[in-house]
Amino acid sequence: MPEGKIIKALSGFYYVKDENGELIQCRGRGVFRKNKVTPLVGDYVVFQAENDTDGYILEVLERKNELVRPPIANVDQAILVFSAIKPDFSPLLLDRFLVLVESNDIEPIICISKTDLISKDAVQEIENFARSYREIGYRVLLTSTKEREGLDQLLPLLDNQISVFAGQSGVGKSSLLNTLRPDLDLETNEISMSLGRGKHTTRHVELIEVAGGLVADTPGFSSLEFLTIEAEELSYCFPEIYKVGANCKFRGCTHISEPKCAVRQGVEDGRIEQFRYDHYVSFYEEIKERKPRY
């Protein structure tokens, strides 16, 4: 039986690209509903073609990861697009996205957009944040679609990868993709000045070919709650805290109040940024206070 990858899902149809690059419009077999399996964009599947253009999906192959919102599987990396201004850069929101991405074993790439719109004073602040995240080990790009800044660094990173573009509404995800591939002509909306946020302009999940890879232009994570992360696992999602925490005196140290905590000492001596530690504590308490789900 032939195999392929779902690159688009719309109105009950799954569009599967086969090994020859041909697109087959497929429906899912009823057995999926019975087994509570929902094919997702990004899935590798076994299918049966009834003719050159139509067929049925018979089997969904094992996934390495899956996201619920947006519904997509087998993601290699997330391009986290955060604007320098309009809306203002938010390290708190960025860290929330980073935790969600890290917890799904997805490689994050931080992309700070609209750098052409900020003042010289603000540029320094943004560059300081960029340096902090780079020192942790994250790849950080400063981009401007107007000035075409940083795009030459981004394009090679997309090659042969399944990437999602995620971030707040109005940060310029669609503008960035339009600049990388002008023929896409994705709809973009200006920021609502009263709300300080844009409207979602993307209505379904589809993988589109950009720079030798596949990119999902999605509305980002519509849920930013830590529903599947346990408090004890949170430090794994802060690489620098996890690394320094290996030297804590007590095994299973939460890095909140235990004596001889290497992480708190790391904050004091500057090896861990205070704002990152503050976000860790805030997220830890949020997870601890989460109501149990049954």
CB 102 within 8 A of CB 132: no
Give the pLDDT score at 174.
75
Chain-centroid distance of CA 187 in Å reads: 20
The Cα–Cα gap between 63 and 93 comes to 28
Torsion of CA 140, 145, 148, 149, to 10 degrees: -30
The Cα–Cα gap between 214 and 181 comes to 12
Low-confidence ranges of the chain (pLDDT < 50): 189-202
Considering the domain architecture, whether residues 250 and 150 belong to the same structural domain is answered as no
Considering the domain architecture, whether residues 112 and 207 belong to the same structural domain is answered as yes
Give the pLDDT score at 275.
97
Give the pLDDT score at 195.
29
Give the pLDDT score at 183.
79
Give the pLDDT score at 29.
79
Q: How far apart are the first and last CA of the chain?
A: 39
pLDDT, tens digit (0-9, with 9 covering 90-100), for 190-216:
433 332 334 444 457 789 888 899 998
Considering the domain architecture, whether residues 210 and 83 belong to the same structural domain is answered as yes
Give the pLDDT score at 98.
95
Considering the domain architecture, whether residues 159 and 252 belong to the same structural domain is answered as no
Q: Count of domains in the chain?
A: 3
The Cα–Cα gap between 279 and 283 comes to 6
Considering the domain architecture, whether residues 56 and 76 belong to the same structural domain is answered as no
Q: What is the identity of the amino acid at 257? A: S
Assigned domain for 180 exists = yes
Considering the domain architecture, whether residues 182 and 135 belong to the same structural domain is answered as yes
pLDDT, tens digit (0-9, with 9 covering 90-100), for 63-93:
999 887 778 899 999 999 998 888 889 999 9
